[in-house]
Amino acid sequence: MSNDKRRRVEGFAFLVAFGLTIPVANWMIGHVGTVCTADGVCLIPVFPHLMAPSGVLMIGIALVLRDLVQRRLGVAYSAGAVVVGAALSAAVAPPSLVLASGVAFLLSELADLAVYTPLARRRLVTAVVVSSLAGLVVDSVIFLWLAFGSLDFVMGQIAGKAWMVLLSIPFVRYLRRRDERLGLTPA
C-alpha cells in the first residue's frame, strides 16, 4: 500500500471513530455508570473520591482522535467530524446534552487545534498531550456549565479525560515511530 493511501485509510478510520465519540459519550451519560442520579446522569469513579459523568471517557479519546484525524486528513475533516458527531448525538441524547456537548466540543476542539498545530510537526506526542489537556479543560468547564448549570464535577471531568489521554500515549508514540520509519508525512 502506498504511503498516501495508507495515510488516507488510517485517517478515515480515525475520522469515523472520532465522529462516533460524541454520540456515544452522550448516550453513556444516561445509560452507563456505577451511580445514576435522579435527573438521569450516570457517574463513574475516575480517581479516589472523584466522580464524573461517564461520557468523560469517550471525550478523552476524542481529543486524541481529533489530533490524529488532523495529522492524517487535515483540519477540515476534523472540524466536519465535530459537526457530524453533534448531529448524530441528537438521536441518542436529550436536546440539552446535545447542545451542551456540541458547543463544548466545538470550542474545546478549537483550543486543541490552536495548541496542536504549531507543535505537531516537531513533537507529535507532546503536541497530542498538551493540546488534549487544553481541550479537556475547555470542554469540561463549558459542558458542565451548559448541561447542568454547575461545575460540581469539573475535577472529575478533567481527571477522567486526562486518564484517557495518558492511556493513548503508547499508541501515539508507536504511530510516530512507524510514520518516521515509513516516511509517512502528515496531511
Q: How far apart are CA 81 and CA 17, in angstroms?
A: 10
In this prediction the pTM is 0.86
Q: What is the pLDDT of residue 131?
A: 92
Q: Which fold has domain 3-182?
A: Arp2/3 complex 21 kDa subunit ARPC3 (1.10.1760)
Q: What is the pLDDT of residue 89?
A: 67
The dihedral of CA 10, 13, 19, 24: what is its sign? negative
Query: Pairing state of beta strands 50-53 and 42-47?
Result: antiparallel
Task: Determine contact, residues 56/135, Cβ cutoff 8 Å.
Answer: no
Q: What is the pLDDT of residue 26?
A: 82
Q: What is the pLDDT of residue 110?
A: 83
Angle between helices 124-148 and 56-73 (to 10 degrees): 130
- pLDDT tens track of the chain, all 187 residues? 788 899 999 999 999 998 888 788 888 988 999 999 888 889 999 999 999 999 999 988 988 998 899 899 998 887 787 777 767 766 766 777 778 877 887 788 788 888 988 898 788 899 999 999 998 999 899 988 998 898 988 999 999 999 999 999 999 999 999 998 988 888 7
Q: How far apart are CA 128 and CA 47, in angstroms?
A: 22
Residue 21 has, within 13 A of its CA and on its CB side, a CA count of 22
What radius of gyration do the chain's Cα atoms show?
16
Q: How far apart are CA 20 and CA 156, in angstroms?
A: 22
State the cell numbers at 4.
498516501
Q: What is the pLDDT of residue 9?
A: 94
Q: Chain centroid to CA 149: how far? A: 22
